[in-house]
């Protein structure tokens, strides 16, 4: 990564690693001299996702009682959890803890790709699934 900032300045903040870069950007590999800290390289063990199709996952969740967004009535289930796939709101689910556990078990048994990210936000009542390409992942 090449930070678009003048090399002559003595501003320290752009040259430092942010806390969110842990495991993604190498803290030691940077050039010496004026570009020190402005050119950042990927960590040795991080990887870029290749991507997997999202349709089989959406179909699986529909079979597991996910209501499609077009059929959703907010008055009937106001406390339902929103389900997002690659940033697109695809439906809602009334029992998100069971859905999340099922999806995690599928990923652990390698029935869906290990690159698929599953994120449950309890406060916002959202379940986010990312299968797209180009995401930088830590080696977990």
Residues making up the chain, counted from first to last:
140
- Please state the pTM of the whole predicted model: 0.80
What is the CATH number that goes with domain 55-132? 3.90.1070.20
Per-residue pLDDT of the chain (140 residues; tens, 9 = 90+): 656 666 666 666 667 777 787 878 877 777 666 666 667 778 888 889 999 999 999 999 999 999 898 888 877 888 899 999 999 999 999 999 999 999 999 999 999 999 999 999 999 999 999 999 999 888 76
Give span(s): CATH 3.90.1070.20, the chain.
55-132
Per-residue pLDDT, 33: 67
- Do 15 and 37 contact (CB within 8 A), yes or no? yes
């Amino acid at each position: 990564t090449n930070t678009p900032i003048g090399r002559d300045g003595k501003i320290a903040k752009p040259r430092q690693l942010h806390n969110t870069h842990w495991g993604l950007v190498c803290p030691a590999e940077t050039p010496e001299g004026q570009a020190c800290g402005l050119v950042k390289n990927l960590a040795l063990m991080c990887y870029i996702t290749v991507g997997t199709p999202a349709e089989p996952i959406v179909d699986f969740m529909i079979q597991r009682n996910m209501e499609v967004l077009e059929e959703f009535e907010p008055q009937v289930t106001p406390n339902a959890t929103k389900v997002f796939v690659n940033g697109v709101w695809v439906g809602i689910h009334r029992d998100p803890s069971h859905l999340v556990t099922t999806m995690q078990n599928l990923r652990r048994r390698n029935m869906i790709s290990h690159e698929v990210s599953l994120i449950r936000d309890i406060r916002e009542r959202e379940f986010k699934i990312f299968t797209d390409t180009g995401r930088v992942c830590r080696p977990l």
